[in-house]
Amino acid sequence: MKPEEIRKLEAYFKRTFNQSMVVKARPRKDESAEVYLGDEFLGVVFRDEEDGELSYNFSMAILDIDL
């Protein structure tokens, strides 16, 4: 993802969920970025462009040992 997209996504996550949210670029991955709450990895946000429309999908796995 482009740095401008990452900044916009991070601002959205901070505004919507928590000020400690951070979005980081993934090495060698152009279509996604990692999402953290402070130092804790939460998931991955994917860029999806289809039929001229752009959207982002956030994926977060929850392990049973964390429940």
| pLDDT for position 15 | 97
| Pairwise CA distance, residues 60 & 54, whole Å | 20
The pLDDT tens digits for 21-66 are 999 999 899 999 999 999 999 999 999 999 999 999 999 999 999 8
Note down the domain range covering 56.
3-66
User: Number of structural domains, the chain?
Assistant: 1
| pLDDT for position 32 | 96
Confidence of residue 6 (pLDDT cuts 50, 70, 90): very high
3-state secondary structure at position 9: helix
Residue 60, CA distances (Å) to 31, 44, 49, 57 in order: 16, 7, 20, 10
